[in-house]
Amino acid sequence: MSPSVPSILGGGGSRTPGTSDDIDFRIQGQEMQFVEIELDPGESAIAEAGSMMFKDAPVHMDSVFGDGSKAPGGFFGKIASAGKRLLTGESLFMTVFTHQGQGKARVAFAAPYPGTILAFKLSDYGGMLVAQRDAFLCAAKGVTIGIFFQKKIMTGLFGGEGFIMQKLEGDGYCFVHVGGCVIERELAEGEELHVDTGCVAAMTPDIHFDIVRAGSVKSMIFGGEGVFFARLVGPGKVWIQSLPFSRLAGRVLANAGPMGGGRDEGGLLGTVLGGDSD
């Protein structure tokens, strides 16, 4: 491994029967990160379709219907699991990577856009974490990806993530990708934090998520920060991203050509999409 690429090591430890696979991992890179997972024989990782970067030859790849959890509850359980994935904007299928050889084997998954990959050991958070839609990247097999509904209509309409967020459950490692850099805030009982609605990346389920008006009417119209803020009340932890993908996409489109104000600085859209700028 290149010493010039910073990495974050994690995983290891003893494995308890009936729990998620206890994987070792390494997060590498800066703006465009990837996570490299080390598997022992028989261990598996699950990931979003199309997120694989590379794998060793003994790692067998298989597409599964639903979230790839170990006990989907038969055919109807798989249908329900797949339906939940559709609601969170994901595909019907996930990919399971299983080490079927000897010794150690590795598989790596890359982030889809500039940002930060976060590793969560779900057992450290009571077995559940709530994340923004499409934040999930990969996990140890045994982690379940479900849906988390906003309880209030106004929060669902103006909370930045809609009515539905991702719910990650289990006791193993899962990896989520957020835009830009990220900070972690731990809120005490009753402590309140106002956040741009698109910048809420993940939170523990005990955080109360609501919306609050962004100041006066003049501030709401001319302040440039939107009409509402996300109102987070503790106790619990929240992870805040600096660059939501919607903001990144909006800036690209705004500078893409005449329809975006006539600014196409060096063929920005063509560069982003991999095309020619002439």
Alpha helix (H) ranges present in the chain?
74-87, 153-158, 217-222, 245-254, 268-273
Residues 84, 133: contact at Cβ < 8 Å?
no
- Please say if the pLDDT value at position 142 is more than 70: yes
pLDDT at position 121, please? 94
Domain presence at residue 196 = no
Nearest-angstrom CA–CA distance, 196 and 39? 38
Of 91, 172, 96, which is closest to residue 134 (Cα–Cα)? 91
**Token pair of 19, please?**
């729990």
Residues 126, 202: contact at Cβ < 8 Å?
no
Who's near 153: CB < 8 A, 6+ residues apart? none
- In this predicted model, what pLDDT tens digit does every residue of 119-133 receive, in sequence order? 999 999 999 999 988
- Mean pLDDT, residues 44-66 taken together: 90
Select the more confidently predicted residue: 259 or 202: 202
Domain presence at residue 254 = no
Nearest-angstrom CA–CA distance, 176 and 159? 20
Domain presence at residue 23 = yes
Who's near 50: CB < 8 A, 6+ residues apart? none
Domain presence at residue 79 = yes
pLDDT at position 150, please? 59
Of 180, 181, 231, which is closest to residue 203 (Cα–Cα)? 231
Q: For residue 14, which phi and psi values (nearest 5 degrees)?
A: -80, 155
Select the more confidently predicted residue: 155 or 65: 65
pLDDT at position 4, please? 37
Of 14-18, 19-23, 105-109, 137-141, least confident by mean pLDDT is: 14-18
Domain presence at residue 138 = yes
Select the more confidently predicted residue: 273 or 139: 139
Confidence band (pLDDT; 50, 70, 90) for 113? confident
Confidence band (pLDDT; 50, 70, 90) for 77? low
Q: How many structural domains is the chain composed of?
A: 1
Question: What is the domain range of residue 55?
Answer: 7-179
Give CA 207 to chain center in angstroms. 18
Residue 112, by phi and psi: left (phi above 0), alpha (psi -120 to 50) or beta? alpha
- Please say if the pLDDT value at position 223 is more than 60: no
Who's near 108: CB < 8 A, 6+ residues apart? 34, 35, 36, 37, 52, 53, 54, 55
- Mean pLDDT, residues 238-246 taken together: 87
Residues 133, 173: contact at Cβ < 8 Å?
no
CATH assignment at residue 34: 3.60.160.10
- Please say if the pLDDT value at position 55 is more than 50: yes
pLDDT at position 63, please? 85
- Please say if the pLDDT value at position 202 is more than 80: yes
Confidence band (pLDDT; 50, 70, 90) for 94? confident
Average pLDDT over all residues of the chain: 76
Domain presence at residue 219 = no
Nearest-angstrom CA–CA distance, 188 and 223? 29
Nearest-angstrom CA–CA distance, 118 and 227? 29
Select the more confidently predicted residue: 20 or 58: 58
Domain presence at residue 165 = yes
Q: How many CA atoms lie within 13 A of 265 on its CB side?
A: 6
Domain presence at residue 214 = no
Residues 99, 42: contact at Cβ < 8 Å?
yes
